[in-house]
Amino acid sequence: MANPLPRVSPGLPPGTSRDPDRMAADPRLVRWETRSEGPLFAVSLLFLAAYAVHVLARGMPAYGHDICLGVIYAAWGVFLVDYVVRWRLGDYSSSLLAHVRHHVLDTVVLVLPLMRPLRFVSMYQVIQRRREKPRLSLYARVIAYSGMSAVLLGFTGALAVYQQERDAKGASIRTFGDSMWWMSSTITTVGYGDITPITPLGRTIAVGLMIGGLALLGAVTGSFSSWLLQVFSREGDEKPPAR
């Protein structure tokens, strides 16, 4: 019996998979990711620095805030260009909706640039292509990149909440130190409750920080626990038999 004809998706050449994990098969996309991740990382840090100065330097002249806003908008424009290029070079170039549906994290990071620390974990995949063997073990990579992402996400969340709460009537978050204290107790799931956001946007940011922080810290603690179990299991296997 003859094999049935392969199914061909509209807008894709025969044999092309819609699996997002196989997008890197396109050499143009691989080349773009390899060359752009470094500059995008620098732009992300510049974006974060400009936003921090804009929020914290309240006594800065108006032109200083205008410069910071210009840097912020320019950085967002770079992120938009990167998103469009990845869409056009990917497997879903014929449908923007399909690209959005299969790249939720990239879309969220584009709409909410302060969430960009969540993309730092994926940078290792690009760096790994430049080396035949990774320098860190799997558990160490997860712990290091998740921990770094949690710190950066917490810092940006504290900045955003402080910006919304500092001038609100009846707010308990009046200084950036208050916001950092609230962020630390929130992202670690301690939740003392002595300081809480009261504005609608501040609470919305808090929900995002809770979800992102819980996921990242869960990855850190889970990987550390798995590493300990692996070490103890290996020691048990190497223990000489009792006489």
How is residue 114 annotated by DSSP? Answer: G
Digit-coded pLDDT (tens) for 47-63: 989 999 999 998 899 99
The lowest-confidence range among 48-52, 77-81, 142-146 is: 142-146
Amino acid of residue 209: L
Confidence band for 72, pLDDT divided at 50, 70 and 90: very high
Amino acid of residue 134: P
Interatomic CA distance for residues 91 and 100, integer angstroms? 12
Contact (CB, 8 A) for 118 and 109: yes
Digit-coded pLDDT (tens) for 168-210: 898 899 999 999 999 988 887 787 888 889 999 999 988 888 8
Domain boundaries, the chain: 17-116, 136-238
Average pLDDT in the 59-82 region?
93
Average pLDDT in the 223-242 region?
68
The DSSP element (H or E) to which 195 belongs, if any, is: none
pTM confidence score: 0.70
Interatomic CA distance for residues 158 and 175, integer angstroms? 10
**What CATH topology corresponds to 136-238?**
Helix Hairpins (1.10.287)
Which residue reads 């990774």 in tokens?
134
Interatomic CA distance for residues 145 and 44, integer angstroms? 16
* Cβ neighbours of 143 (radius 10 Å): 19
How is residue 170 annotated by DSSP? Answer: T
